[in-house]
Amino acid sequence: MTDEIHADEVPVQGLQAPAEDRLEDLASQPAARREGPALGIGTAAWLLPGLGHAILKMWGRAIACFLTVAALVYIGAGMRGNLFTSEGGDAFATLGYVADLGAGSFYFVAKSLEKAGPDVSHADGDYGTRFLAAAGVLNLLAALHAYEAARGRKA
């Protein structure tokens, strides 16, 4: 028997495993141990669109989420869309607030861009409201995807 060492068996210090291996390592852990990091990744993905996917090294999705949500917020705010507040008088206003808040930190960016106030008396303002809500819903779906991917589920 010879003691030959093959190059693929020698551990090299200082090199990290590929992203796929790290995700497989996370997936091989029990569900209870994955829940904490997954919640953190999901929260990060909600706060800053694309951050959860970036943490998971899903660069394409991270860039796509960030740019899409940013563009929707910028267009919606530029059209002077209405951002709903927490003082909604009915269920639809509350639902609109949840959708708007779904954009994470971009909700506050849009709020700061809303200096002149919303203008929903024209079609542009009404469409802007829809763009802002779509940005929030898209970001919530992206955050859910990052959370599920962090838990090791195929999403």
The whole model's pTM is what? 0.74
Q: What is the pLDDT along the chain (155 residues), one digit of tens a residue?
A: 555 555 455 444 444 445 555 555 555 656 556 788 999 999 999 999 999 999 999 999 999 999 999 999 999 988 888 888 888 788 888 899 999 999 999 998 888 877 777 676 777 777 988 999 999 999 999 999 999 999 988 76
Q: Which residues contact 73 (CB under 8 A, 6 or more apart)?
A: 103, 106, 109, 110, 131, 132, 135
- The domain ranges of the chain are 34-150
The pLDDT value given to residue 4: 56
Residues 6+ apart with CB under 8 A from 49: 65, 66, 68, 69, 70, 103, 104, 106, 139, 142
CA–CA distance, 60 with 62 (Å, rounded to integer): 5
CA distance 142 to 71: 15
* Residue 119, both tokens: 């203008």
Read off φ and ψ for residue 7, nearest 5 degrees. -60, -30
> What is the structure's pLDDT at 145?
96
